[in-house]
Amino acid sequence: MAIKNIAVTDTLETFRTTFNDLAANDFGDIANLSGSISATNLVEAMNETISIATSTAGWTIEDSTSTQQIIGGGDVLRVFGTSNEIEAVVSATDTLTIGLPSAVSVTTSLTAPTLSTGNLSLTNGSITDTSGAISFGNENLTTTGTINAGNITGANITGTGTTHTFGTIEISGNTLRSTDSTRINVNDTFRANAFESSGGILYMDEFLGTDATYYPRIQSTRGDKVIVFDATPLFNSTIAFEGSSADDFETILTVVNPTADRTIFLPNVSGTLVTTGSTDIVSESMMANDAISQNELKSVVTLQILNSAGTPVKTLYGAGA
């Protein structure tokens, strides 16, 4: 089909013959158009032909904006995806498989009312699990914000920095203190290997005796070993003195069960206490100067028995006379 062209200088006859040839040979007789085509002009007939061809040998794709594209014979539909976002696989016969890989990467943002995977759900900043537990495996959980929870359980809970606060209890290194008072209350039994005062001069612990049993012990680390009691100590009945060496022998001071308040005065002098079991303890200097007549009781006097020659045969000794 040659291009039909009418020059400005052509005659009306040339225009007539050229137009008739165009209508007869290039456009064709409308009577020869297929009965399946209802259009009466060339443009509408072409559109109708495309529609018929598409419905039988092609198809139309449409996106979310209602934009359509006809896919006919000879056209190629290409679906691209990256390895960590979406996967498209073409297989026989006429099969296109679109899916997600095992690990999906979203480079911008992902928005949905609820994201779920297995028992785990993420909704509006809240992570929940229908099994009642969320595990992070052996990974570290880091946040610059605040963790609010009823109970926090773990084998080890480690924080950054040097000072940590739980309620009004502050832990700084190995120092524990209250942030709202100068006292920490312990409602249950408090047990430790040893107790030491702030200055380190009072020490309480347990020690293993030579009898292979443990004894409670209160020590003073002062050079003079002094411990001051600002109150009156009340002992049940017995006080045991270990002595200079810890062994199986002690001196025990025991009182007979009193039936009334009793007071025993210790003299304001240095010396050794005398008991009924003492031997050779009382000396002359310990005797008072009390006297009967002119002889002091602490003075030793003698009585001699003489024979006829005046020689002493017996001498009697006494305290005063």
209-258 pLDDT per residue, tens = 878 899 899 999 999 999 999 988 888 889 988 888 878 888 999 999 99
- Report which secondary-structure segment, H or E, holds 12: helix 12-21
> Which residues have CB under 8 Å from 237's CB, separation 6+?
254, 255, 257
* CB of 305 closer than 8 Å to CB of 317: no
Q: How far is CA 319 from the centre of its chain?
A: 85
pLDDT at 193: 92
Share of the chain above pLDDT 70, in %: 91
* CB of 173 closer than 8 Å to CB of 193: no
Nearest Cα neighbor of 63 from 47, 79, 81, 82 is 79
**Higher model confidence: residue 320 or residue 213?**
213
pLDDT digits (tens, 9 = 90+) for 7-58: 888 888 988 888 888 777 777 777 777 777 788 787 888 887 777 666 666 6
pTM more than 0.75: no
Domains of the chain, residue spans? 12-56, 195-254, 284-319
Tokens representing 56 are 């039988």
pLDDT at 20: 84
* CB of 49 closer than 8 Å to CB of 42: no
Tokens representing 8 are 């400005």
296 beta partners:
291
* CB of 299 closer than 8 Å to CB of 293: no
**Mean pLDDT to the nearest integer, 117-134:** 86
